Structure 1
Amino acid sequence: MIRHVLFILPLLAGCAAAVNQPVERELGDYDLKMSYAPPRSMAQGLVQPNSGTLAHGGLDVTHSSGWYFGQWAANLDPTEGKMIKLDSYTGFKQPLDERFGYELGTLLHSYPTLSQRNVEEYYAGLSVFGSRLGAAFSLDPGRSDRTLLADLGLQDDLGFSVTLKYGNHALDNPVGVGNGRNVRVFNDWSINLVRPWLGFDLNLSYSDSSLNALECSAYSGFNRYCDGALTFKASRAL
């Protein structure tokens, strides 16, 4: 049952475009990129460093062999110094030919000014005939998360792209939801359709989870809402 329907009118994303342009340099077999936007979307689009607040930036280094590494500071705001978050990653990405390719790597979320334990994330991806398949596993304090993603690459055939995402979440300590019931494991999923139109990107998405209305108080997955939600968004970069 769809409990939420959201419509987001056109978003003008060009305000920060001037400061978000990356700086790229080549040093021998290495490509260096510095940017105010997350420099890389790993595992064929499955994992991406968080954008954080206005004060953020990162460095990405790629070798001609396919190896890469980098670090992304998701929050450098001096007024929120206690919440500094660093994403350090390394991986290997290699196209086999025009139809096939693969990627694998690891991502570490750390909080230098907090005693919070680091979060480890491992990811892998395949590209097959224009479609992208990815999987990720993360170990957070008190929980583990497994994610599957499929970008079906149907833009040329259907006129819009289709992306499916499925997550499985396991909590170390069950969460009570009343009537003596507990939630320790739950799943969530989403489907996104994106179509370019007159310079806009039209995005229609639906998300849901395995939890019912009484159990949603325990939800802490990837979606914005626990129960069924339909969202439409139109955005355009100036």
Structure 2
Amino acid sequence: MFRFLVPLLGAALISQSVCAQVMERSLGDFALKLGTTPTRSMAQGLVTPSNGAGSFHGGLDLTHESGVYFGQWSPNLGLAPDTTAELDSYLGFKKPFDQTLGYEVGVIRYSYPDTAQVASNELYAGLRILDSRLGAAFSNDTGTTNSTLFVDLGSIEQLGMNVRMQYATHRFDTLQSADDGSMIGGFNDWSLKLSRPWLGIDMNLIYSDSSLSGDSCNLYSGHNPRCEQTLTIKAVRALF
């Protein structure tokens, strides 16, 4: 069923060059969100980000008042030339202990309907303390075991911005040969994201890197868009 949800969103799906939008509706005991940016708190840090300008992306999220939720996010619907579709479907449970502490657990399935790439599953869990979140995720892709730890500190008043950090390890089932001839058993990658609103614009500064470099980057398949040290500046403005 999940495979057909995102194509039905219609107007909710637009290219990243326009903006990131979220539309909310109440459906009985459920809260429905449609948007062009991931809306789920914990899963938002794990689903694949959109591929940049020209990619058509979007998703939906349904939350029951009990804390159970499910949804789907597509970083790319494969509508533009030279792009392929990816669907990230998730199911989870989120529960607060009180106003300052809560937890969340769930699973995400990454599927690629237009290619022969095998779908993979990822388990995640997280803890919320005030406005900060600490999360971890574990997955087994074909030939690779991945572990991810991320910390979202929320808005830090002293810095005037939101801070998010992520660190991941990726271990190959067997040693892999890099282009430089070396044999590699795995790699790590990490990122730091600083963001803040400014004159109605969402400003983002993202630093990312990995333990691979140069000719060994042919083995990279981590969370970051690029293998080597990268600094990205992104600005998003909503039109309505």
**Which category describes the TM-score, using the shorter chain as reference length?**
0.7 to 0.9
Distance 1:225 1:51 in 2: 14
Aligned to 2:31: 31
Gaps of 5+ in 2: 1-14
Distance 2:237 2:50 in 1: 19
Distance 1:39 1:226 in 2: 24
Judge conservation of contact 1:44–1:125 (CA < 8 Å) in 2: no
Which of 1 and 2 has greater Rg?
1
Judge conservation of contact 2:22–2:37 (CA < 8 Å) in 1: no
Gaps of 5+ in 1: 1-11
TM-superposed CA distance for 1:30, in Å, is: 2.4
For the residue of structure 1 that corresponds to 2:225, the secondary structure is coil
TM-superposed CA distance for 1:58, in Å, is: 4.0
TM-score by length of 2: 0.76
Aligned to 2:220: 219
Distance 1:202 1:55 in 2: 21
Distance 2:48 2:104 in 1: 16
Give aligned pairs, total: 222
Aligned to 1:4: none
Aligned to 2:168: 167
Q: Which has the higher contact order (CA 8 A, sep 6+)?
A: 1
2:30 partner letter? Y
Aligned to 1:206: 207
Pairs within 5 Å for 1:53-68: 58-68=59-69
For the residue of structure 2 that corresponds to 1:152, the secondary structure is strand
- CA gap 1:201/1:110 in 2 versus in 1, 3 angstroms: closer
For the residue of structure 2 that corresponds to 1:137, the secondary structure is strand
- CA gap 1:45/1:155 in 2 versus in 1, 3 angstroms: farther
For the residue of structure 1 that corresponds to 2:157, the secondary structure is helix
1:125 partner letter? G
Aligned to 2:39: 40
Identity, % of aligned positions = 45
1:31 partner letter? A
TM-superposed CA distance for 1:99, in Å, is: 1.1
1:146 partner letter? S
TM-superposed CA distance for 1:13, in Å, is: 6.6
Pairs within 5 Å for 1:130-145: 130-145=131-146
Q: Deviations over 1:2-51 (max 9, x none)?
A: xxxxxxxxxx978456xx55352322x22334x25255334264223655
2:67 partner letter? G
TM-score by length of 1: 0.77
Aligned to 2:189: 188
Aligned to 2:10: none
- CA gap 1:207/1:55 in 2 versus in 1, 3 angstroms: closer
TM-superposed CA distance for 1:191, in Å, is: 1.2
1:40 partner letter? T
Aligned to 1:156: 157
